[in-house]
């Protein structure tokens, strides 16, 4: 089976040969579309800093803002800032949703 757009004669011959041998053949335009769709899936994942990932895992463990702050030797306000940034990046409005999305996207 071959999937082609407007291709050159050489590519058409290659496609016919591949299809005749029982292989799939995707023309260069189709390959580009497939590659773009795969790379777009990765672009949808938010980019988290190492600190955000660490704080996200501590939140997932059920730790409070104060206990996270003590453990990381930072202020509770800094923890809250990281939490707010995480919620914004993952487009959620509460901690439960934050954890749910993080697990679904394999961020933790």
For residues 55 and 70, the answer to whether their CB atoms sit within 8 Å is no
Q: Where in the sequence of the chain do the CATH 1.10.10.10 domains occur?
A: 50-104
- DSSP-based three-state secondary structure for 98: helix
Q: CATH says 50-104 is which class?
A: mainly alpha
Retrieve residue 51's tokens: 């600190």
Retrieve residue 37's tokens: 């769709």
Query: pTM (2 decimals)?
Result: 0.59
- Tens place of pLDDT for every residue, the chain, 108 residues? 555 555 577 777 777 887 788 876 766 666 666 666 555 454 567 889 999 999 999 999 999 999 999 999 999 999 999 999 999 999 999 989 999 988 888 888
């Amino acid at each position: 089976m071959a999937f082609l757009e407007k291709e050159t004669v050489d590519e058409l011959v290659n496609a016919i040969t591949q299809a005749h041998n029982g292989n799939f053949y995707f023309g260069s335009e189709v390959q580009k579309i497939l590659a773009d769709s795969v790379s777009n899936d990765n672009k949808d994942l938010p980019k988290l800093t190492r600190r955000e990932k660490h704080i996200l895992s501590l939140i997932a463990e059920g730790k409070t803002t104060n206990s996270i702050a003590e453990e990381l030797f930072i202020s509770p306000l800094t923890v809250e800032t990281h939490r707010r940034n995480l919620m914004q990046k993952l487009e959620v409005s509460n901690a439960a949703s934050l954890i749910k999305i993080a697990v679904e996207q394999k961020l933790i």
